[in-house]
Structure 1
Amino acid sequence: MKKTALRRSKILEELESSGQVNVAELSKEFQVSEVTIRNDLANLERNKLLVRAHGGAFKTNTLAVHVAERKKTNLEAKKAIGRAAAELIVEGDSIILDSGTTTLEVSKNIGNFERLSVISNALDIINNLASSENIEVIVPGGFLRKFSMSLVGPLAEKNFKQVHCNKLFLGVDGFKSDHGIYTYNMEEAYLNQLMIEVAEEVIVVADSSKFKKIGFAFIAGFSKIHKVITDNGIEEEFIKMLQRNNVEVIIAN
């Protein structure tokens, strides 16, 4: 099962960089049958992560969107979520800001703190906080994943295991009702799991569109999440689902 998940994650990475994949080429690359590759593509298509075509697959618009474009999507909602998230932070906190366009908005609202420690693997967040004199910025290191402009890999994982924080602000790519939160990349999912383990409080920041999506890689079940901050576009059924799973819902205005 682990090999299957890793192979599918690599297929998504190739889609991300080249825009399309070929069944025969993937079969040779991963040394598995073409039937196996077709099953992989069928699974990923069911999760709306690609579009199959004769002999291969193309990436969906979700994966095609560049980081700069993603920052514009639902921007007003993300700004409101960023403001609401910052209100949960108190002087002297140590926080983790995960990579993502919504967590970037959180970082834009914490410049006035007199004493704050921020751990982040996101280059845009690190750059945004670089000029804040009273904020201690801690960078875990790792290698750059260009699609999300985040640092991942063994070095980042090792360093996150060495820290402790009061609050984690976690961006996600999708939800599965009564199951948990997801992202598109396995390495980022594992790093998110480590962040959760070292945080006293886990706060998911996600605009309401994310409740109608699901990523490929599982991060955690709702038992690991304390709060979700979203916008007023969230449907009532999703609010009830979160509350049913003992997750506090904060609607940002």
Structure 2
Amino acid sequence: MIKDSSIVDDPEEGSALEPATGGSAAETPLDGMMAEERRTQILQIIRSAGRVRVNGLATRFNTSAVTIRSDLNELHQRGLVLRSHGGAVLPETILRESPVHERLKTHSDEKRRIGAMAATLIDNGETIILDSGTTTLEIARQIKKKPGLQVITNGVNIAAELLDARDVQVFIVGGTVRGESASISGHFAEQMFEQFSADKLFLSGAGCDLDFGVSGANLEETMVNRAMIRIAREIILVADSSKFSKRSMSRIALFSQIDTVISNTSLDEEVQEKLRAIGCNLILV
């Protein structure tokens, strides 16, 4: 934890941790999106500098100190920052986005088992969505010989893996390429997904907190994930046990929206019980 008296620069601020409201009751969907984009930028600043001050952020975003305090309180409630009198700091427990080449090396055995199990749930001739995760990459490696399969993806890694799959038709959406995640995001990608319909979505996500939901580290990418959810008849989460009880920046889906969870056998028993109580079909491999 970072401690520095210099972050206390707002003498008019009251309690160090005020209740997070997540915006006013009259907030429109557009206002909500603007607030979420501002919070994403604030988090990026904190990750770069280690700490921020309310007054400095209010000046930078040309908004009120009250609004900035609300943003910081919301980020604190999500577990992404540590709220402090006068500002916020970056706690050591924040789940940050790792480059895709690093994630490929972590929990690789678990991901292979999860990917193999997920592939058994796919029937010949189905239309499926694979997001750009490294666990979904393992699914792509397992389905190359399934006849008549149609795969929709925002993953450059997924499309590249399926280049030699003669029996699989691949649709990759357009937009902005993110090198960190080998993914495509942005409004074009969202709009393209709205033109499709899919039998199953295989979703990975960066964090899986049972209260907050499945979350991602990049707002634009999570918006694409939400577009996937809207067009899929069945939502299947593929996530190894290391992702659970962790939160990332932006919510993709609540667990009440998830039909099936595939994870590894070391998943905490309390988490298993809660998932089943929510109504998720839990498969452990």
TM superposition score normalised by structure 1: 0.86
1:164-183 superposed Cα distances (whole Å, 9 cap, x missing partner) = 11110001222332553222
Contiguous gaps of at least 5 residues in structure 2: 1-22, 24-31
Residue equivalent to 1:100 = 133
**Structure 2 residue 163 is matched with structure 1 residue 130:** yes
**Structure 2 residue 228 is matched with structure 1 residue 187:** no
Contiguous gaps of at least 5 residues in structure 1: none
Q: Percent identity?
A: 38
Q: 1:47 to 1:142 in 2, by over 3 A?
A: same
RMSD, matched Cα? 2.6
Residue equivalent to 1:162 = 195
Higher strand share: 1
Quick one: which amino acid aligns to residue 248 of structure 1?
A: N
Residue equivalent to 1:234 = 267
Quick one: which amino acid aligns to residue 214 of structure 1?
A: R
Q: CA deviation at 1:83?
A: 0.6
Q: CA deviation at 1:67?
A: 2.0
Distance in 2 (CA, whole Å) between partners of 1:150 and 1:14 is: 23
Residue equivalent to 1:49 = 80
1:215 pairs, out of 233, 242, 248, with 248
Residue equivalent to 2:20 = none
Q: How does 1:40-79 map to 2 (within 5 A)?
A: 40-41=71-72, 43-44=74-75, 47-50=78-81, 57=89, 62-63=95-96, 65-79=98-112
Q: 1:154 to 1:221 in 2, by over 3 A?
A: same
Quick one: which amino acid aligns to residue 5 of structure 1?
A: E
Deviates more, 1:121-130 or 1:4-13: 4-13
Q: 1:73 to 1:59 in 2, by over 3 A?
A: farther
2:175 pairs, out of 142, 145, 148, with 142
Q: 1:25 to 1:106 in 2, by over 3 A?
A: farther
Secondary structure of the 1:181 match is strand
**Structure 2 residue 234 is matched with structure 1 residue 201:** yes
Residue equivalent to 1:113 = 146
1:43-63 superposed Cα distances (whole Å, 9 cap, x missing partner) = 535544357899875586742
**Structure 2 residue 39 is matched with structure 1 residue 8:** yes
Secondary structure of the 1:204 match is strand
Q: 1:4 to 1:140 in 2, by over 3 A?
A: same
Q: CA deviation at 1:131?
A: 1.9
